[in-house]
Structure 1
């Protein structure tokens, strides 16, 4: 079921001169989430979408075959025939999906590449963790683009997603939200869901975030933290209360970061 109505000629709004095969410095990214599957064509020179993104609702249950069909709907909307990058809310290691957050548990143990080839045909794919994709995009085109050294993206939502980039190179599948800090998983004390569930003030919540960030920086010594997730839009309410030593800036790409990072991944032939 789609939450958008495809046009009779879905490719028309982009113009006939927009290549749909992965040439011309363009690539395609799809960001799979628990509620929606969204995608679009990305200009790799700017990190901007060519035209609007398109979204369909994530099927329920969100089995591999059903999600692959949703990805096909998104690419077909743009008449895209070239390579496709895909994010999943999962650890993807050795070409296998190892975990499943907000998608059906039947994804665990799945090899996504033949699955996607069956749904979309013979073309190149890259499948990677959604936070990793967002981190790549923010590092190249967003809040981290002018930073040197190590950039760490943290997405504060239901949990805490993480991505580490060192001089633009991704260290995949870090999953730092599950790291114990003071005997408690980081995301169980510093996610935005915890703030909401416990009705914390921004100042009190920032104290928990500072504790987690200090643990991360003592291990990795990043040069910059980029804060993502919906709560990053209100960074002015909590970032000034942080007490860790590493600078923290809000993400700038927001809803397009996963799409852009997925497109970057397939362009670079990245397969974690």
Structure 2
């Protein structure tokens, strides 16, 4: 995969260290783990995106072992970040203060685990953890489809389920689970996720009608200034985006396969401790 080179650049927060602008980003999914080294100054990848299977079962111990292999692999490359640079990991879970409060498509053993502490101890370096949709939202707002404006940006990822991220004036509102709002008496992701179109053999017009009702409801609830649609189905955006009619502009995500990786790395950067006075 070719490196991304977004046009924007990222300034360091005032008083924060700029020593480590290269961080490892890992996006842990239900079936695959994607990872790369990211230059957070512009969101570009300094190594290609690489994938390896997510362990099955995806217990914390098994995933930690796989992540150790990821860090070892990337640390051996010429583009390796400084050993003191933190690692950003995106996981399919609600994450509060580093603790997993849900487990979607990963083993239930993650529930209640202080993932940040656990992975930091297992990898022997600082690890920062973030919800996978939140990671994608951070990346798109800083480097991708939402980089040109402020206001309220809503990212929706359509895949096996529905992921969501809300960013207000550049600040993340974490852990929104908007795939679980009601649509036709069911969780919206049952009716409007990308897998629903395949499972029910819907044509694009029928699927767009469901997506229209879902996004119109979110538009009413949050009054966003921009809606970004991501997930694997976004590669076919020309089949359904032109069929949507909302007051809010709806655009396709730009970072695609690397959004979670880039967002996880940026989260690792943003959570660097301030420099000592």
**Smaller-chain TM-score bracket:** 0.7 to 0.9
* Helix, strand or coil at the partner of 1:51: coil
TM-score by length of structure 2 reads 0.86
The structural deviation recorded for 1:148 is: 2.4
CA distance in 2, matches of 1:104, 1:34: 9
CA contact (8 A) 1:181 1:215 kept: no
The structural deviation recorded for 1:131 is: 0.4
Cα deviations by residue, 1:76-122 (Å, 9 ceiling, x for unpaired): 1121522111100111113311111111111111111231122211x
* Helix, strand or coil at the partner of 2:198: helix
Mean Cα displacement is larger for which, 47-56 or 133-142?
47-56
CA distance in 2, matches of 1:270, 1:257: 20
Q: Which residue number corresponds to residue 8 of structure 2? A: none
The structural deviation recorded for 1:53 is: 2.5
CA distance in 1, matches of 2:121, 2:39: 27
The structural deviation recorded for 1:56 is: 2.2
Counterpart of 1:43 (choices 36, 39, 48) is 39
Question: Is the counterpart of residue 100 in structure 1 residue 103 in structure 2?
Answer: yes
CA distance in 2, matches of 1:158, 1:39: 20
Superposition map of 1:156-167 within 5 A: 156-167=158-169
Superposition map of 1:1-272 within 5 A: 23-79=19-75, 80=81, 81=83, 82-121=85-124, 123-269=125-271
**What is the CA RMSD across the aligned residues, in angstroms?**
1.6
The size of the alignment, in residue pairs, is: 249
CA contact (8 A) 1:99 1:107 kept: yes
CA contact (8 A) 1:65 1:115 kept: no
* Helix, strand or coil at the partner of 1:148: coil
CA distance in 1, matches of 2:153, 2:180: 19
Cα deviations by residue, 1:145-192 (Å, 9 ceiling, x for unpaired): 113211111000111100001111100000100011343321121111
Uncovered stretches (5+) of structure 2, i.e. residues with no partner:
1-17, 76-80
CA contact (8 A) 1:150 1:165 kept: yes
The structural deviation recorded for 1:29 is: 0.9
CA distance in 1, matches of 2:49, 2:67: 13
CA distance in 1, matches of 2:63, 2:260: 16
CA distance in 1, matches of 2:210, 2:106: 28
CA contact (8 A) 1:39 1:75 kept: no
